[in-house]
Structure 1
Amino acid sequence: MRIMITGGLGHIGSCLIRQIPDQHDVIVVDNLSSQRYCSLFSLTRKITFLEKSVEDITVSDLGTVDAVIHLAAYTNAAKSFDAKSALDRNVKDAKDLALKCVHTKVKAFLFPSTASVYGSDVETMVEDDESLINPQSPYALSKWKIENLLKETLGNDTKFIIVRFGTIFGSSPGMGFQTAINKFCFQVSCGVPLTVWRENLEFMRPYLGVKDACKSIIHLLEGPESYKNKTYNILSGNYNLSDIIESLKNKVPNLELNLIKSPLINQHSYKVSDTKIRSTGYVPTQDLNEEISNTLVLLSGIK
């Protein structure tokens, strides 16, 4: 299989290009706007690298591609309330790329959405009940818009796979620190007190190790046709914020916690079910406590 990965030097992409089995050819597309040149260091496989934005991908670029993994996007949910133009660009880029894939008969288009599209008082979220959809941020709303555009545009010659990822944690060569757990690890390593919304301490959310995310992508792309034209929740586990804080305290006993009152981005506490993806034989293996330890070790040189 010849696989194109957009945004392939980012947090997930830099891990994915190292996990995809060698029998597949990999094309990485990244405009290097995040300056993650380091994601290309010490690769043990050969890849094709295209330095360009998604909008500049041509039909010719897609001519021999069997599958597209569309990771490229603006991804900061907390700051998305002030990023309308970037989110609009996410939607337009995804739609235009999907149309090019249809034109060139790319067989599969995998899109990472987010479990943040949910927002209901129902305790457990499942993929195929749209009554549970209630995006709580502009970022989540843009993901939901793209999901619907892909379902309208794809499904025949080009099949879609939509994966609703939990909040990503864990290290990778192009690691990011804007998501909760990784950001907390960095702040703790720098001796910065953690500022946490008091109301959010016992709220439950789905979290996903970056290696589990990559494993799920490979599993679904390599699987039978019956896996396609479907949506899957992907997570390593559902955790309370207090579980994460406790794990950090066990490793950094002098951790300072600053509890404040503040409006929440997402007003709902919920679990996400991954029964659907598990029924295909996929099982997540990353452990939250172990990955927090690993990230803190990577940052242990900071005084």
Structure 2
Amino acid sequence: MRVLVTGHLGYIGTILVPMLLKRGHDVVGLDADWFEDCTFTGELADVQNIRKDVRDVEAADLRGFDAVIHLAGLSNDPMGDYRPQLTEEINYKASVKVARLAKDAGVARFLFASSCSNYGASGDNFLTEDAAFNPVTPYGVSKVRVEEALHELADDTFSPTYLRASTAYGLSPRIRFDLVTNNLTAWAFTTGSVYLKSDGSPWRPIVHVEDIALSYIAALQAPRDLIHDHAFNVGTTTENYQIREIAEIVHDVVPNCEIGFAPDAGPDLRCYRVDCNHIARTLHEFKPQWTARRGVDELYQAYKQVGLALDDFEGERFKRIAHIQKLVAEGRLDADLRSNA
């Protein structure tokens, strides 16, 4: 297939694109590349890049593709909280615009990077794809609204699919340190403290970034009737953990570290467990390869190899919100996060 991947230079995209190429797909990327100075390790796949803000996508950018994998957007809750109106503009309005243009251009499949953040504050019951939404952040709200809009666009010619990823972790060329497993492992390695910013009680489903990429490939290659207007919780049901359990795994893997709590550590409203049996039963090519313990060991070995320091992952190079604020302060982005180049 000829596939357009928006956000292909981000955390997931830099893992997904090589996997698509390996399977013989013709891949083009579209990315504003805000994080071009933030490559952590490895090389990026060499594919054609439409360097463009997702808000500025035009009909011509979508023509000739069999599928769009839409990853682009403000990628987490701190970024979403930075200026909530931008989350609505970029994550919601721009996503719906891209989908409408794709439909008008004859694109048959539209795979949307949704999130289990849709479930938000949902307690400790296992949630299937039919569970009620209860988002508690602008990021989660934006994902819910896009799913609703895409459902309205679905018809005999346009098949949207909603990949609701569990909380990601794992090594990527464009690594994110704001993700709980990556962050706790980084704190443990650099300071000797598995540093919890909540009381550790909330539940989270977690999934390795490579397994997220596998879910897109499985959906892309599945028969249309299996994925048309369907949502999938992406992960493995056994990979639901309380935050303190992730901290204990990090403690077991990283030598000479202890578990500690931030002075203001308290309960987190975001608490949910998800059932991932639907994707396992439906998309037979989706066979997750990673567990939390194996992923923490991968991160620990990578941090050792590059000599990761606290200032790296808590500073403006690799911390997403800090890097964006740096680009704004330098005038490379304006207050609306548009390029001044």
Is the shorter-chain TM-score for this pair beyond 0.5, marking a shared fold?
yes
Corresponding residue for 2:220? Answer: 221
Q: Which residue of 2 aligns with 1:275?
A: 277
Q: Of the candidates 289, 293, 299, which is equivalent to residue 289 of structure 1?
A: 293
1:28 aligned partner, one-letter code: G
- Residues 1:64 and 2:67 aligned together: no
What corresponds to 1:3 in structure 2?
Answer: 3
Partner of 1:134: 134
TM alignment of 1:16-35, pairs within 5 A: 16-20=16-20, 21-35=22-36
Alignment partner, residue 211 of structure 1: 210
Deviates more, 1:60-69 or 1:190-199: 190-199
Alpha-carbon shift at residue 267 of structure 1 (Å): 5.1
1:248 aligns with 2:250: yes
Structure 2: runs of 5 or more not aligned: 310-341
Conserved? CA contact 2:81–2:138, under 8 Å: yes
Residue 255 of structure 1 and its aligned partner are, at CA, apart by: 1.8
Checking the alignment, whether the CA contact within 8 Å between 2:188 and 2:251 is kept in structure 1 is no
The normalised TM-score by structure 1 is 0.90
RMSD between aligned residues: 2.2
* C-alpha separation in 1, matches of 2:82 and 2:294: 34
Deviates further, 23-32 or 279-288: 279-288
Distance in 1 (CA, whole Å) between partners of 2:122 and 2:44 is 43
- Residue identity in the other structure for 1:291: G
Distance 1:231 1:195 in 2: 34
Equivalent position SS for 2:62: coil
- SS of 1:11's partner is coil
Say if 1:9 and 1:37, in contact at 8 Å, map to a contact too.
Answer: no
Alpha-carbon shift at residue 58 of structure 1 (Å): 2.1
> 1:209-265, CA deviations, whole angstroms, 9 ceiling, x for partnerless residues?
000000010001100011221000001421121221111111224324332454544
Write the distance in 1 (CA, Å) between the matches of 2:23 and 2:277.
29
Quote the Cα distance in structure 2 between the aligned partners of 1:235 and 1:221.
17
Contact 1:9–1:40 (CA under 8 A) maintained in structure 2: no
2:196–2:265 Cα contact (<8 Å) kept: no
Q: 1:88-128, CA deviations, whole angstroms, 9 ceiling, x for partnerless residues?
A: 12111101101101110100111111111113246110102
Residues 84 and 202 of structure 1, relative CA distance in 2, 3 Å threshold? closer
CA distance in 2, matches of 1:42, 1:82: 30
CA distance in 1, matches of 2:178, 2:198: 20
The residue type equivalent to 2:288 in the other structure is P
Q: Helix, strand or coil: the match of 1:279?
A: helix
Change (3 A) 1:114 1:36: farther
1:37-186 equivalences in 2 (<5 Å): 38=39, 42=43, 47-89=47-89, 90-118=91-119, 119-121=121-123, 123-129=125-131, 132-186=132-186
Work out whether residues 254 and 300 of structure 2, in 8 Å CA contact, stay in contact via their aligned partners in 1. Answer: no
Larger displacement relative to structure 2 (72-81 or 5-14): 72-81
Shift of the alpha carbon at 1:181? 0.8
Relative to structure 1, the CA distance from residue 198 to residue 82 in structure 2 (aligned partners, 3 Å threshold; closer, same or farther) is closer
Higher mean C-alpha deviation, range 219-228 or range 115-124: 115-124
Q: Say if 1:218 and 1:40 are closer, same or farther in 2 by CA, change over 3 A.
A: farther
- Name the CA distance, whole Å, in 1 between partners of 2:35 and 2:47: 20
Distance 1:122 1:190 in 2: 32
In percent, how many aligned pairs have the same letter? 27
The change in CA–CA distance for 1:222 and 1:103 in structure 2 (over 3 A counts) is same
The one-character-per-residue Cα deviations of 1:18-75 (angstroms, maximum 9, x if unpaired) are 111342100011111122574997456x522111111222212211111111111101
Residues 132-179 of structure 1: CA deviation (Å, up to 9, x unaligned): 211122211111111111112233311100011011000111211111
